[in-house]
Amino acid sequence: MDFFQQQEVAKRNSRRLFFLFILALAILVVLVNAGVFSLWIFYHSLYSEPADALWHYITTPEAAFTSLATLLVFSAGTVHRLWQMRDGGIRLIELFDATEITDTSNLPPPYKQLINIVEEMAVAASMPVPRVFVMESEHAINAFVTGKPSQYLLVVTAGAVNSFNRDEMQAVVGHEFSHLLHNDVGINLRMVAILAGLVAVSRLGRSMVRSAFYEPRRPRDIGHNNSGFAAITMFVFLGIVLWLAGYAGLLLGRLIKAAISRQRELLADASSVQFTRNPNALAEALIKIKHGAGSLLTNQYAEDISHMCFADSVPILFKGLFSTHPDIDTRLRQLGNGWVARARVRRNKQFKEAQKTAEKAPINTQSLGYAREILESIPAPIHYILSQPQSTVLLLYAIILAASGSKKLPKKLSYEEVGELNRLTEQAKGFNPRWLIPIIDLALPTLQRLDKKQHQHFIKQIDELIKADGKVTVFEYLLRQTVWLRLNPRPAVEPHYSSLHQVANSLQRLFSTLIHISASQPQNQSELFEKHAQALLPPGRVLLEKKRCTLPALASALDEMRYLTPMLRRMVIDKCADIVLEDKIIKVEELEMLRLIGLLIDSPMPSLQTH
């Protein structure tokens, strides 16, 4: 199943999730009203038939007030959690006391290894590098991703960092990346918010009961005042009703969460193996959880993110119903016959046979080999610069200046920053062109640490530097648009076009622009257009002249194609890849153009690793 099919599945899951949680909320309201009705009928004993009493109760202000109050408590809990996650998950991470890895120069080897793996995965997947956080106080083995497309966040426990070898960590990171690529993060965050609303009702009831029993009172307030005692009794009863009803709603919410999450976890395991080509590493990681430190977190909010983690984060009764993850034996069986048996061997400390079997398995790291090779070729000082916000800004300025030859300098730089910029500009003139896109990817998580005012100033200076020489290259436009859209994400759009012929003019301009970059000879250009482009265009369309294929015109065309259905966008990006791969060689400018197309039509890059 590809990205676009996953996108459709994610949308269906979102609608299903919304319906199921509306059902859970309705049941919660009914349960609370049932408790209040039992108290109401105690004070209205004149009814001989319960049905008559129930019908009368439904029409009373008490029923309306009870329903409204329950909905308000639920809404308050949900809105509060949404407010905590308003910046894409940073607030959520703060609840877990996770520390961001920023300075990569003095990291312990396991932490440096984690950063290298995340960068390799991001470059191989042609996506921005997530910011990386470590939960230093958690010694169990677990991880999760959160955030939004403009700023993904990967959180790993210290236990995972210190327990896994490189292949095992790569398998776990691949599992988490698959959640990003399959659009699971948005569903996960919505589940966190809705479950917080269900928990809020139960917590309110528990607080009411505790306050009634533990709050100090003078004896005459209770013992000598029958009305006061009756009020406290009613207060406690209502608290118990909310507590039990909220807990029942929470159980139903957990059932829904578990049902949705289990299948996504199996899919993420399969995607990790597809990504890394190393099922043994994922299996070994699962075995370490099963027979090692486990995966349970100590943080009080572990329940809230249980469906987001790599493995179970809280102990669960009735695992078949409420567990958000398949049990480890099931996950091992999915990776191949024999892994459950190997897990038993590991438990008995008989390691040799399992290790020999794993060594015989072929490991194909082709999909990550190119990314690792490129990242390792980038000098260590550049990696360090890319971990410091202001230095990263200067490096991106320098890359633009080195390419354009312009003498114009950005504004508001200190004397020392000007000197550093000049030094970096000279250095950037010798950069391998294939470093440039990975440098953008590595720069994004660092740039996200700038505040809004710094973002705006940076974008403005980038625009002025690009315009300084009177021309805009594909890389300059890609750099500008990538930084802008990742720091200022656009809202998702609903498809307006269900046929490629509805955007024929834009499609013709896209293919023409890409072909002018891919082929230099007019005859080759015409042949490429006839072979690839005409199949998706109405009859009579021809290759546009090069002067009509400007970047602003292309940007306008790509913006229109954002409104195609996901399956049609897949056809467009795949056809662009076919054009680029026609000569079996991918030029840097072609790769830049593909990244730009994917960015502007909200589509992932097609796989080009074999070339």
- Residues assigned a catalytic role: 176
The C-alpha atoms of residue 198 and residue 52 are separated, in whole angstroms, by: 31
**Dihedral of the CA atoms 440, 441, 447, 449 (nearest 10)?**
-170
What b/e readout covers 99-120, taking b as 16+ CB neighbours within 10 angstroms? eebeebeeeeebbebbbbbbbb
SS3 assignment, position 94: helix
| Distance in Å from the first CA to the final CA of the chain | 22
Closest CA to 408 of 427, 395, 421, 390: 421
Q: What is the DSSP letter of 497?
A: B
In order of 385, 395, 478, the CA distances from 429 in angstroms are: 17, 12, 19
CA gyration radius, the chain: 29
Alpha helices in 277-308 (DSSP H): 279-291
Pull the structure tokens for residue 195. 């479950």
Q: What is the DSSP string of 407-475?
A: ----SS--HHHHHHHHHHHHHHTT--GGGHHHHHHHHHHHHTTS-HHHHHHHHHHHHHHHHTTS---HH
Q: What is the DSSP string of 232-274?
A: HHHHHHHHHHHHHHHHHHHHHHHHHHHHHHHHHHHHHHHHHHH
Pairing of strands 151-157, 131-135: parallel
In order of 95, 123, 441, 478, 548, the CA distances from 551 in angstroms are: 44, 24, 22, 10, 9
**φ and ψ of 498, to 5 deg:** -110, 10
Other Cβ atoms within 10 Å of 216 Cβ, number: 5
Q: What is the DSSP letter of 139?
A: -
Q: Residue 457 in contact with residue 427, Cβ under 8 Å?
A: no
Going edge to edge, which strands form the sheet with 99-100? 99-100, 131-135, 151-157, 143-148
Q: Residue 159 in contact with residue 141, Cβ under 8 Å?
A: yes
Alpha helices in 44-165 (DSSP H): 50-58, 61-84, 90-94, 109-124, 158-163
